[in-house]
């Protein structure tokens, strides 16, 4: 009885905060997340506090702990964006690699994850290898162990994903490197920020990128920026 009352109260709170549709979407996303690791044999669900990790680089104090993207929300976002064939996708702060695995369902030529905690990068590599046994993808998937602020763009990345990985100071360094890359290798990029509250102010000031779209599924919110001409 107590359990049923608690569940009912949680449901009522969720409907108040997210509406009926948002509550349904959150429930569907939760179920997909629970199934994801079971289906693919990966381990992406468990969050990891940064305190528990050794980290490469100077930016540990500016990092956000590992929690995974809702895989259903990511797929809905990709259905909305329809990535073209042959693009290059980067997830800054890729953690255990759930987004890299999910991105393999789309026609990217290369998928790159950057993660500054070696322990997470190792789990990520294992997850990607295990995932590839059950899902065929032509994409090359690369996991780079290092600080996002020090990532040197190859010059062909055109879809950049960030799920609230770090504070604005690190984002500013990433944007500086992206600007240099765009000057050297002009191309149109989409930069997607999931859970965007912390990074939206620094992106609002950016000289090259402007917000062109936003998308939400359940409680997952995505802001989409681009340097595409208006």
Ligand X SMILES: C[S@@+](CC[C@H](N)C(=O)[O-])C[C@H]1O[C@@H](n2cnc3c(N)ncnc32)[C@H](O)[C@@H]1O
- By CB under 6 A, name the binding residues for ligand X: 59, 63-64, 66-69, 91, 93-95, 98-99, 114-117, 120, 147-149, 163-166, 170
Nearer to ligand X, 15 or 132 (CB): 132
Asked if 223 contacts 196 with a C-beta cutoff of 8 angstroms, the reply is: yes
Residue 91 C-beta: closest distance to ligand X, Å:
5
CB of 7 to ligand X, least distance (A): 27
- Give me the least distance between CB of 210 and ligand X, in Å please: 23
Residue (166 or 223) nearer to ligand X, CB: 166
Return the CA Rg of the chain.
Answer: 18
Q: By C-beta, is 15 or 81 nearer to ligand X?
A: 81
**Strand ranges for the chain from DSSP E:** 88-92, 110-115, 140-145, 159-163, 190-194, 210-217, 220-226
Between 15 and 219, whose beta carbon lies closer to ligand X?
A: 219
Smallest separation, CB 5 to ligand X (Å): 33
**Under DSSP, is residue 215 helix (H, G, I), strand (E, B) or coil?**
strand
CB nearer ligand X, residue 123 or residue 189: 123
To the nearest 10°, report the CA torsion of 67, 196, 142, 103: 90
- Closest distance to ligand X from the beta carbon of 34 (Å): 15
Cα 156 to Cα 153: distance, rounded to the nearest angstrom: 8
214: β partners: 223
Taking CB positions, which residue lies at the least distance from ligand X?
93
Can you read off the two tokens belonging to residue 230?
Answer: 């208006």
Which helix (H) or strand (E) segment is 46 a member of?
none
């Amino acid at each position: 009885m107590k359990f049923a009352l608690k569940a009912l109260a949680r449901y009522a709170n969720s409907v108040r905060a997210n509406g009926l549709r948002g509550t349904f979407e959150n429930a569907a996303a939760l179920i997909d997340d629970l199934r994801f690791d079971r289906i693919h044999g990966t381990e992406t669900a468990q969050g990891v506090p940064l305190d528990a990790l050794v980290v490469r680089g100077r930016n540990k104090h500016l990092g956000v702990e590992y929690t995974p993207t809702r895989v259903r929300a990511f797929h809905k976002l990709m259905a909305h964006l329809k990535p073209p064939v042959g693009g290059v996708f980067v997830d800054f702060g890729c953690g255990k690699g759930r987004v890299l695995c999910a991105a393999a369902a789309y026609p990217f030529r290369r998928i790159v994850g950057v993660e500054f905690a070696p322990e997470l990068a190792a789990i990520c590599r294992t997850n990607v290898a295990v995932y590839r046994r059950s899902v065929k993808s032509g994409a090359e998937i690369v996991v780079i162990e290092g600080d996002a602020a020090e990532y040197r763009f190859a010059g062909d990345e055109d879809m950049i994903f960030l799920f609230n990985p770090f504070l604005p100071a690190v984002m500013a360094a990433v944007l500086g490197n992206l600007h240099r890359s765009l000057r050297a290798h002009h191309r149109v990029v989409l930069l997607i920020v999931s859970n965007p509250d912390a990074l939206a102010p620094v992106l609002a000031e950016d000289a090259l990128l402007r917000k062109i779209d936003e998308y939400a599924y359940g409680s997952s919110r995505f802001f989409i920026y681009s340097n595409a001409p208006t």
